[in-house]
Amino acid sequence: MSPIGILGGTFDPIHYGHLRLAQEVADQLRLAEVRFLPSGTPPHRAAPVASAADRLAMVRLATAGNALFTVDARESASTVPGYTVDTLTAIRAEVGPAQSLVLLLGADAFLDLATWNRWHQLFRLAHIAVAYRPGFPVDTWQSRMPQPLAAEYNARLMHQPFAVHVTPAGGIVVVPIAELDISATMIRDATRRGRNSRYLLPDSIYQYIQEHEIYTGN
């Protein structure tokens, strides 16, 4: 069974940076699918600007038409803080112990991993693929890892990416991706200031934001 990728986030809003990361990691690791998991009530950050329903709708629009992408709404439907370890535990119970799962993280998110709830347990549930941009090379962020995370990184690093096909969980793989300097903050700020954010995100999401007056401050 080819691995299943898991990409969580607030997606406030989803943009080409998210979509390109998912596509490139899926291609390089030969994933069977990438499940997008929009959060409902994220525990590690301020509340999203857009509602959970709007963010879920935008993720569904953005991923439509790509047979590789699916959407998992379980966190969006929850009113309590959603922890990745709990979501992965539920997914693992559904897919069984032999299915390889790969949690997709950007390098910035990975550097904060040791602050996540029960983060050590994540390795029992999935591999972790760390996507990094050429302008943010591995040697620059390795030095920024806290010691507990560095110890896990050194012990679990897979030098052969396709090793994620062999075991169901427990490894770390590093994947280079194209550098797209796009952020959700940039899009929200542009929209609030009345600037055009087209071509930073799919047209379907641009139209949704305009029609529902999200991020305008109205």
What is the structure's pLDDT at 94? 98
What is the structure's pLDDT at 136? 66
- Name beta bridge partners: 36: 7, 71
What is the structure's pLDDT at 218? 63
Two structure tokens written together for 166: 């062999």
Secondary-structure class of domain 4-182 per CATH = alpha beta
Task: Tally DSSP H helices, then E strands, for the chain.
Answer: 9, 6
Q: Say if CB 67 and CB 30 are below 8 A apart.
A: no
Q: Say if CB 126 and CB 5 are below 8 A apart.
A: no
pLDDT tens for each residue of the chain, 218 residues long: 799 999 999 999 999 999 999 999 999 999 999 999 999 877 766 789 999 999 999 999 999 989 999 999 999 988 888 899 999 999 999 999 999 999 999 988 999 999 999 999 999 999 999 998 766 666 777 788 999 999 999 999 999 999 999 999 999 999 999 888 899 999 999 999 999 999 999 999 999 999 999 998 76
What is the structure's pLDDT at 111? 92
What is the structure's pLDDT at 170? 98
What is the structure's pLDDT at 74? 94
| Single pTM value for the model | 0.94
State how far the Cα of 182 lies from the Cα of 17, in Å rounded to an integer: 6
Residue ranges of the alpha helices (H) in the chain? 16-29, 52-63, 84-95, 107-111, 122-125, 138-142, 147-156, 184-192, 203-212
- Name beta bridge partners: 6: 35, 103
**Residue among 31, 42, 49 nearest 8 (CA):** 42
How distant is the alpha carbon of residue 39 from its chain centre? 10
Q: Report domain extents, the chain.
A: 4-182
What is the structure's pLDDT at 141? 73
DSSP string, 30-62: T-SEEEEEE-SS-SSSPPPSS-HHHHHHHHHHH
Amino acid at 154: N
Q: Would you call 107 helix, strand, or coil by DSSP?
A: helix
Q: Say if CB 3 and CB 168 are below 8 A apart.
A: no
How distant is the alpha carbon of residue 27 from its chain centre? 16
